[in-house]
Amino acid sequence: MRIGVISDIHANLEALDAVLAHLDRERPDLLVCLGDFVGYGPDPTACVERLRPRLAAAVLGNHDAAATGARPIDDFNPMAQEAIVWTQGALSDAVRDYLRALPEREEREGLLLVHGSPRQPVEEYLLDARRARASFAAGGFRVAMVGHTHQPAVFEEAGSRVATRGLLPEVPFPLRSASRYIVNVGSVGQPRDGDPRAACVIVDTHARTATLYRVAYPIEVTQTKMEAAGLPAALIERLALGR
Ligand code: ZN
């Protein structure tokens, strides 16, 4: 079984379409989404409508919760707040209802699916092995798939050690049966690891691998739409930097 995993689309339709075209060529058996469909980008309703019929499972992201009013936004930075307020006005009723009904965690083919971390599924940022250790200790999974930081990585628990591993594009990462893993699939619509290309991962449960892919998309098209929508300049600029 091959499972396509995407996260953090953030209303970037051009990045989403590029990733979906890539996945059409790779033909995974299932596609799942780890949340943050919306927030930051100019096409929240179109992105959800495009993805929804293709998804076997999806979970709630913090920006999804904020966009439906289910979560306060006072702890977001000013740019993110501005984008969320804009997004709230741009969502169709049907898309708002869909986002509001997303679960905080799902499981497919033995993979735990959450936005942030296994321990705190919607909000926690797993930026280092120390944080990841607490989620391994909380238990309940062998392989968890996460997004939220917009930085692809793997945390591996082998015995009592937890280490951070790099995920290189197109290089299958081995998921050894003696270890447990938290795999961060990066972001489709706003990468922050210095590579502006959209990210996605395919997990092969038979070969026991996770493979990262990076897909170029026409960033200027998204940026032009963001300018027209009056979204914050720094959010527009960061797309080209991958930061
Ligand atoms: Zn996000």
Residue 33's pLDDT is what?
98
| 243 in a structural domain | no
Q: Could you tell me if residue 92 is inside a domain?
A: yes
- pLDDT at position 29, please? 98
- Return the closest-CA partner of residue 209 out of 143, 162, 157: 143
CA 70 to CA 183: how far, in whole Å? 27
**Distance of CA 9 from the midpoint of ligand 1 (Å):** 7
Distance 16 CA to ligand 1 centre (A): 14
Cα 10 to ligand 1 centre (Å): 7
Closest CA to 132 of 175, 171, 161: 161
pLDDT-based confidence at residue 220 (cuts at 50, 70, 90):
very high
pLDDT, position 55:
98
In a domain, 173, yes or no: yes
Q: How many angstroms separate the alpha carbon of residue 125 from the centre of ligand 1?
A: 10
Q: What is the chain's mean pLDDT, rounded?
A: 97
Can you give the CATH number for the domain in which 136 is found?
A: 3.60.21.10
58-111 pLDDT, tens per residue? 999 999 999 999 999 999 999 999 999 999 999 999 999 999 999 999 999 999
138 Cα: distance to centroid of ligand 1 (angstroms): 23
Contact 202, 234 (CB under 8 A): no
Confidence band, pLDDT 50/70/90 cuts, at residue 49 = very high
Q: Give the pLDDT confidence of 137-168 residue by residue, as tens digits.
A: 998 999 999 999 999 999 999 999 999 999 99
Mean pLDDT score, 36-40: 98
Residue 191 Cα, ligand 1 centroid: separation in angstroms?
A: 9
C-beta separation of 28 from 213 below 8 A: no
Residue 211: what pLDDT? Answer: 98
How far apart are the CA of 160 and the centre of ligand 1, in A?
Answer: 30
pLDDT at 190: 98
Please state, in angstroms and rounded to a whole number, the distance separating the CA atoms of residues 19 and 208: 22
Task: Report the pLDDT value the prediction gives residue 79, as an integer from 0 to 100.
Answer: 94
Report CA(116)–ligand 1 centroid distance (Å): 9
Contact 86, 230 (CB under 8 A): yes
Whole-number Å distance, alpha carbon 209 to ligand 1 midpoint, is: 24
In a domain, 194, yes or no: yes
Output the six-digit token pair for 217: 């998309």
pLDDT score recorded for residue 15: 98
Domains: count for the chain: 1
Q: How far does the centroid of ligand 1 lie from the alpha carbon of residue 60, in Å? A: 11
| pLDDT per position as a tens digit, 187-216 | 999 999 999 999 999 999 999 999 999 999
**CA 16/CA 11 separation, integer angstroms:** 8
Position 221 scores a pLDDT of 98
Q: 194 near 166, Cβ under 8 Å?
A: no
Residue 217 lies in a domain: yes
Task: Give, as residue ranges, everything with CB less than 5 Å from ion ligand 1.
Answer: 8, 36
Domain span at 220: 2-238
Please report the pLDDT score of residue 30 as a whole number: 98
Q: How far is CA 214 from each of CA 57, 163, 202, rounded to the nearest angstrom? A: 22, 23, 12
